Chain A
Amino acid sequence: MTPPAAFAACVLLACAAAAAQAQEPDPAAFRVEASPEAPPPWGLGWQTTLELRDSRQPQTWADAAALEQVLDLRHEWQPARGLRLALSARAETRVMPAGRTGTGGALREAYASAEPAAGWFVDAGRVNLRQGVAQGWNPSDWLRAGGLGAAWQNPAAARENRLGAVMLRLQRSAAWGSAELAWLPDLAAGADTGLADWGLNLERGNDRQALFVRVAPALGETLTLDLGALARAGEHPAWSANLTALLSPRWLALLELQWQTLAGLAAPDRSARAARPRPRLAAGANVTLDSGAVLGLEWHHAADALDRGDWAAWRSAASVSAEGRQALGALRAGRAARLDPLVRDAFYLRLQWNDPWHDGRHDLAGHLRWNPADDSRWLQLEAAWHARPDWSLRLVLAGSRGRPYSEFGARAVRGVAALTSDWRF
């Protein structure tokens, strides 16, 4: 480097250093007065949602709009050391301009939990017991069918409203990890699986007696593993494994696996495929981007669901006869009620971007489901504005695309827009 060039470079470097120094704020300028701590919230929430639906059937504006109000309660008490009582419930009204009004309520959880010895816990009552490391679908979450019916495809929102199952559970938590054993009594054998407006809906988790066991050893910082087994009356035993692996500070891989002897779905003109061990799995990875957004992709596979050929046969049958459409509708409803996939392979893409503008007031999210067998899709976009510490506004836009009788193209609702006011106190 020639002397003038070196001099110029030094001047530029000095200017850059000075600029960098100037950019850094003076910490002494930031003063905060200690403020009194607000009392903890009671666990109540009041949500008001204005919803507009675009249906595939002809509709009027009055049919398309709905106003929903939800009063939500989640509270825990600790009446004595080592004893905890938990209650989670909601009540809702839904008003449509066309004149139809509905009310309903759900007791999601109500249980007592005791710690008779350090690290030993006993729970009795209705408990929301869930497992699974995947985000879009949890094949190892055997009680997933307890969810309240929802048109939304955001799995997190669906999980918030699921009903628990009545059980007696023993859990041990220690330095080596944890283990649990749960017994679910038969409280609603033969009951209708439709949701009653104000009923306990015990058939959602207690239609058969079941025994559940799970072990989660502490393996270290990179790998996590838990193994589970379920024995339920009238079913073959089911086995599960959940695995996560940290690939780098940004990348996280996950695998959720379930094995059970199941009959397989077949084409409409054939009987169900013979029962044999059929895996269900969700495998994928998440990456955290520089922006702070988290992008996740999952592959969902259910060996008992329809393969491409059989799914094409179902769609073809539905396109030519009313009986075919009726049979397909029943099949779809049955699989949806149990949160079982209709087709063998599917993909789920998720984008979660919390606080994108670093102001603590906004969150963004997107969910995309894709059925590669018929190329139908469901896309949902969400934006939340936390206007106050106890009040948020949420906007959700969702829509489906697909040919007639495809998985998402056949949905009665083509698109939804909803604005929700969420007040916590």
Chain B
Amino acid sequence: MSENRLLPPTRRRLLAGLVSGALATLGGARAEPDPALWLHDSDRIRNPPGSFSVRLQLTEFRQRQPVAASTLVVYARPADDGGEYRNLVRFVAPARDHGKLMLRNGQDLWFYDPASRASVRLSPQQRLLGQASNGDVMTTQLARDYDARWAGDERIRDGDGREVAAHRLALAARRAGIAYPGVDYWLAVDDHRPLMARYRSAEGRLLKSAWFRRWQPVLGEVRPTETVIVDGLDPGWVTVMQLSEHTLREVPVAWLQRDFLPRWKDEP
């Protein structure tokens, strides 16, 4: 039986702390990489604090040619038990989709069509294939749902084509049901702003890649206002997502109920 197991847990932790503190003092005050902290910094830059709404204008390209455009408004409220936001997506344009809604409470997803007054439940896979899922890229607090591992530093080309020094993080979802079980994430070395991400399935298959760019002061922080998303299976399918009209606002839980969908108006 080792001596360690004879000590009670509290004394073991105290002893370990003293030893590591002494070693740190002997070795100098060099800071260790803290990928969890970097991820937290990145989340703070990407997402406004608390509940908010943002307008997304999506332009789809096929083989470099713009083929379709749509506009959504996302109302987001941080989930109580995780980093993914509960959100409601309102379709603004094109005209044929105006007024349609998509509600997301984790894996509980509903689509509402005002023409038929019908709410239909969707599977998470069905949502991932639609443009509304691109909103998820912007409304996710990665630090709360992922374990981060520093995978090294490298120089990458950012969304504007400039070379930037970046930390590369490997993120693994902490629980089942997260939309993207794995993420490769690149942050700027200087301020930990997000530069690029590759979102993967549980099997490691690339679902989409995203580049964050067009940095502007928004709600007290310089944030990305444009994201370029490339489909993982079909690299010729590119979506440019422009964000505007960021607004801090209360998004009550009562709004995020499927029976509330027929009552939703632009300003409920």
Contacts and interface: CB of A to CB of B under 8 A. Distances in A.
Interface of A: 23-32, 34-35, 37-38, 40-41, 74, 76, 78, 84, 113, 118-119, 121, 128, 130, 133, 135, 156, 159-160, 171, 173-175, 177-178, 180, 216, 218, 220-222, 224, 244, 246, 248-252, 254, 286-288, 292, 294, 354-355, 358-361, 386, 389-390, 392, 422, 424-425
B114 interface: yes
B64 A25 contact: yes
Given A360-B60, A390-B95, A221 B230 contact: no
B121 A359 contact: no
A292 B69 CA distance: 20
B11 interface: no
Contacts of A34: 57, 242, 244
Interface of B: 57, 59-62, 64, 66-71, 92-96, 98, 105-108, 113-118, 120-126, 129-130, 157, 159-161, 177, 209, 211, 213, 228, 230-231, 234-238, 240, 242, 244, 252-254, 257-260, 263, 265, 267
B258 A389 contact: no
B238 A25 contact: yes
B121 A224 contact: yes
A246 B257 contact: no
Contacts of A287: 123
A389 B62 contact: no
B243 to A, nearest CB: 11
Contacts of A390: 94-96
Nearest to A226: B259
Q: Which of A251, A294, A355, A389 has the most CB of B within 10 A?
A: A389
Given A41-B95, A160-B116, A177-B257, A25 B60 contact: no
B254 A173 contact: yes
Contacts of B114: 74
A358 B236 CA distance: 10
Contacts of A358: 60, 62, 231, 234, 237
A173 B260 contact: yes
B95 A113 contact: no
A292 to B, nearest CB: 4
Contacts of B258: 216, 224
Nearest to B225: A34
Given A25-B64, A32-B240, A360-B67, A249 B95 contact: no
Contacts of A171: 259
Contact of A359 (B57, B67, B125, B160): B67
Contacts of A26: 157, 161
16 contacts: A28-B157, A30-B64, A37-B92, A41-B98, A78-B267, A113-B263, A156-B116, A177-B259, A224-B121, A246-B124, A254-B121, A292-B126, A294-B123, A361-B68, A389-B69, A392-B96
